[in-house]
Structure 1
């Protein structure tokens, strides 16, 4: 993180993360984060804690499994924190009024909603033909959207096993993380920053090879360069 985060940045993060929490609840047989039953459990537990504390507890719980989707530390590159710490001492959180509104408003999470909240502008991006063995490297917010839409249309594909996202922009990193949640993936998105050599990034992430790159015009220059190199172009 290069400087203090604005209220707008923090608000967008929370709004997108709450959509992800709704998506997680939709995947389960019984909702445990929102609704009357969740409110009752919280009231019994809360004590002096407020709505903002409740929201951060929900995010902390989800970040352990889903990483960037719910972790400010991963999205905004907080320095010097333990790998499993999503907030850190400098995270200012969100005000109680906004937190309460986010916790109580009804929402059916979708990729389109997340894209809008994070300010990513979709565009037409070419996605190569995909099979369950295709390995992709992605750079750019619009590219993440395009590939996520292609995976949503074919349930034989596995986002977790087939996609490596290269991104430094916080919104792109959170979008990549939330894509795994929205697609019903088995685990978090494989996500790296565009630093170091291409080979040094891919192999530790579990990709011995990558078949193709999907890069959109909004990609960071460094991320685009790494993506093309990883795909052998």
Structure 2
């Protein structure tokens, strides 16, 4: 799951980036409106955490741009501008949530989990495919009753594929879900993650099928 964090306070941005990464998120950090605007034009994000008081303007101007593009990407405003009127302004302009600074990191994580639950999964937070059970709430996997422990990158690959099980996921979409702008990516890194994950899914009766020149397809073995 890929997050855009728009925050110009260096220490806070680095702390949140590290904390979110530990929870399995891929994070792109943008310290200004201009850089954030470029990011949302080139990447399809699962959520955006948006400060308001940025060096080149109010973050709500970026929110307006996002909504004009008719994207349904959920946005949490995270700002020191925390009066009732300011919160109402942010929500009225399209924010899905508004959290005032100072804040607890655990609360931000809980709100992110809440707004990034796919509507189709609201009634069912467990996806079963073969003998694999993927729990979307805590992003964990089981094969039968046994936990499937995966490194963060492999877990991100699995999450992206299983949310689109039975459909082709392009290589570009997988790379966007697994890597951030600042990640140093070897040319064969994604192939290595998929190769290792493919072996681990054999006991679940699943295969990751390579669609040459297009992408990958997760499906149960027939």
TM-score by length of structure 1 reads 0.31
Structure with more relative contact order (C-alpha pairs < 8 Å, separation 6 or more):
1
The structure in which a higher percent of residues are helix is 1
The structure in which a higher percent of residues are strand is 2
